[in-house]
Amino acid sequence: MKQHFLIITLLCTIFTLSAKADKMPLPVKTYSSFIKVLGGGKYDIGVSIVKAHDNGYVIAGRSVGTSGNMDMSLWKVDENGNVKWNYKFGDSETEEVYDIIQTKDGGYITVGSSDSYGLSVDLKDTWVVKISAQGKLIWRQTYGDENSIEEGTCISETEDGGFIIGGKIISLTQEDPSGDAFVLKIDNKGIQEWRKTYGGAKNDEAVGILPVDGGYTVIGNTESSGKGKWDVWMFNIDLKGTTKWERTYGGGDTEKANEFVQTEDGGFVFVGYSYTFAEASLDCWVVKTDKDGQQMWHKSFGGLSYDEGNGITATKDGGFAITGYTEVWVPDEYGDNTSLEGFNTLLIKIDSKGQKQWEKSIGGVKEQRGNSLVEAKNGDFIIVGSKQTSDQNNFGVLLIRTNSNGSI
């Protein structure tokens, strides 16, 4: 009887320890911070970065191709910034990329513009490229006509497995051409389902698009409406492209948005720059709206020189991280800048109310700018952008990993 009691006690202890082990959080892996440059032979720039489906990150950017013109270039890197593969896509003319996203099938899709594959050489058409998880081409497609110049600037996947694309178009049939924003819906094979243009008498553009309940919300910039020279412009459309509401944001001078994200409450936060609300010249500008585009707060970040936010990501703590560039400012007795550092990569962390938690300027001699960033699983930040290399005409893809406090 005593032996049975001991066995039962031992089993209960084992089950208790096992249950506690199941509830214990897995250890968070740490990685060394780094600053790396990919490419850099002539003109390599990182434009957008996404987390890979397995581990690491996929970067979309531009490189000089074998023809001497610009090609789209994709890099897969691991958590330590080591390149796993790099493929270029393009032909005899110029190809560019502006956005890349993961797709539900385990691959990726990019959007940009092409001179090589469109209906007319030397006139840009929207260019979409679908690739596998290994970076191999699945399909590519151009959209446009012989009477317009257009660029696809942003893309999101839709609930039906297709994609929604935003961009800007200039019709050459007009006597005094100006740009409009456009939205294009395609299926999962790249077949166009519908497209519509939006804007007024002056220049308008879309720079970001996100699916929302019952449609899509678009962020862009407009000269046609608003209070100043350029204002930030947000509008919402239904699933067929009909406008439901639109808003503008800005003051008496120029404001522009570069990227936006959706927030936990259904609203949006966009980042860009402002002259109106700057301390001295041009400042990084962040605006929070509700789900209907009504402005809730806005914040400016910067000093006496140029500061701009290019990329934004929502963070696990409910706040946001922003990357861009900041001009290093060391004035002489006449107020002229004497710094040789040029532009540094800007990294700012804010809370859910827009209050700055910390700010970092990362760089050194010559120019380095952040264009896009993601938060790693352990809270580190991965930034991609551009860095000036041996001379003023040569650039490499800038890849930075900081810790969760923005330090290298």
Q: What is the CA radius of gyration of the chain?
A: 23
Nearest to 217 by CA among 236, 232, 199, 244: 236
What is the residue type of 131? I
What is the residue type of 245? W
Block mean pLDDT (10 aa), the chain, length 408? 48 49 63 93 92 96 84 97 96 94 97 90 91 98 94 98 98 88 98 98 97 98 95 98 98 97 98 95 97 98 93 98 93 77 94 98 91 98 94 88 98
Query: Any idea where the domains of the chain sit in the sequence?
Result: 263-407
According to DSSP, the residues that pair with 235 across neighbouring strands are 218, 246
pLDDT of residue 177: 84
pLDDT of residue 25: 57
Is pTM, for the whole model, over 0.75?
A: yes
Q: What are phi and psi of 263, to 5 degrees?
A: -100, 170
* Per-residue buried b or exposed e for 199-221, using 16+ beta carbons within 10 Å of the residue's own CB: beeebbbbbbbbeeeebbbbbbb
Tokens standing for 312?
């934004």
